[in-house]
Amino acid sequence: MRVLVVASTPEWTPGARLLAQLAAGLAAGGDVVAMVTALGSATERAVEQGWPRLSLRSVSGAGGLRRAWSLRGIVNALRPDALLVGSEGDAVLAAFAIGTRGGIVRRVTADEYVPRTGTAAVRSPAAGGAAKSATLRWRTRLARARTPITPWGDTHLALGWPSPPVADTAAHATAIHRLPVTAPAVVLVPGASHDEATAAALRALAHLRTRRPDLRVLLVGAPAALQGTRVHAASLDLAAAVEVVPVEALLQHELGHARAAWITAPGDLGALATLAAMQQRLPTVVAVDAPFAELVTPGATGLHVSADNTVVVVAELARLLADVNAQRAVGHAAAARAAREFGWEAFVDDAALLLARAAGDSGARRTRRPSLTPA
């Protein structure tokens, strides 16, 4: 099957990274895959560097109409059976590019997912305001009238996020038991801007450090984006304990000295960071009202935090940091659930099946497994 994966957003986001990994996985499974990014974007550079064997095309143009015509030229040249996109805007571009000649699978992000428990609401639209959101909606309706668009990830049984694939060496390193003599470290994954959820997590970790003066905080993200969070940490006397690490270090299992994780980031970053932490056998704390909160089973694989139970969460984290056997038991349960319910190979299989159905092959099956190497 010929597949075109479209990620035209210029920023190298966790969602774009996931699409690149998925494109490589589909190609390794036998499909003919090309990926489309914006010309000269950070996404284009990251894909060229991380997946050099992946066929790459670029769309250009300042407006949506020009990008649509650019993508249409790529579609006419490659003649894909189906397209895979990761945003509403890209679904609109893809629909006008492919017309009635194929189908589109549109991955639903964690911001858009409505949990089956009904405890979390859909996040508000990204920056751009209600007018822009409404514009996208009517364009989407027009696009759906032109081309079948299959949503992927809008139900619990077909979530649009997986446990991130990692190299075998990283997986082996994660399996090594952490020595209790090392200083405990908690991974904190905040959002793009400093918010109350991150502030509450910092206050809780500062309180935890009064019990464990050797506690370290691994702050995940780009230093420039974390300035507000670092200033707040300094005001809580955490400056000496904070170390900034890149997102890739978490997703590629390079934080072997961590003992727990606290995720306050929303969207795909929050969901993928949660699963990456679970893969690495880390008891994981997430907000009870996060769209991806159901990834964590309270008491078994991690903790749910809310405004009225922060003290209880701090006490439980202190217990886990003090009791290596308890920490390992929760960590192993987290890793087992991530592998059982959110495995990467099953995720690629689901994508291949949905793409085949979108292309008109209702009896398609996936029998080959993808390589987990990045390139």
Amino acid at 203: R
* Per-residue pLDDT, 247: 94
Dist. CA 242–CA 78, nearest whole Å:
49
* Per-residue pLDDT, 144: 61
Beta strand ranges found along the chain (DSSP E): 2-7, 32-38, 55-59, 82-85, 103-107, 149-152, 185-189, 216-220, 242-245, 260-263, 284-287, 302-305
Assign 165 a pLDDT band (cuts: 50, 70, 90): confident
Mean pLDDT of 248-270: 93
Closest CA to 298 of 289, 280, 286: 286
What are the respective helix, strand and coil percentages of the chain, to the nearest 5?
45, 15, 40
Assign 57 a pLDDT band (cuts: 50, 70, 90): very high
Q: Is the pLDDT of residue 148 over 50?
A: yes
Q: Which residue has the tokens 């008491």?
A: 299
Q: Is the pLDDT of residue 40 over 80?
A: yes
Q: Give pLDDT tens digits for 289-345.
A: 998 999 999 999 999 999 999 999 999 999 999 999 999 999 999 999 999 999 999
Q: Is the pLDDT of residue 363 over 70?
A: no
DSSP-assigned states of every residue in 163-201: PPP--HHHHHHHHSPPPTTSPPEEEEE--SS--HHHHHH
Between the alpha carbon of residue 289 and those of residues 51, 168, 280, 294, 297, the distances in Å are: 35, 34, 23, 9, 13
Amino acid at 232: H
* Per-residue pLDDT, 365: 45
Q: Is the pLDDT of residue 133 over 80?
A: no
Mean pLDDT of 106-115: 79
Q: Give pLDDT tens digits for 194-215.
A: 999 999 999 999 999 999 999 9
The HSE-up count of residue 98 (CA atoms within 13 Å, CB side) is: 33
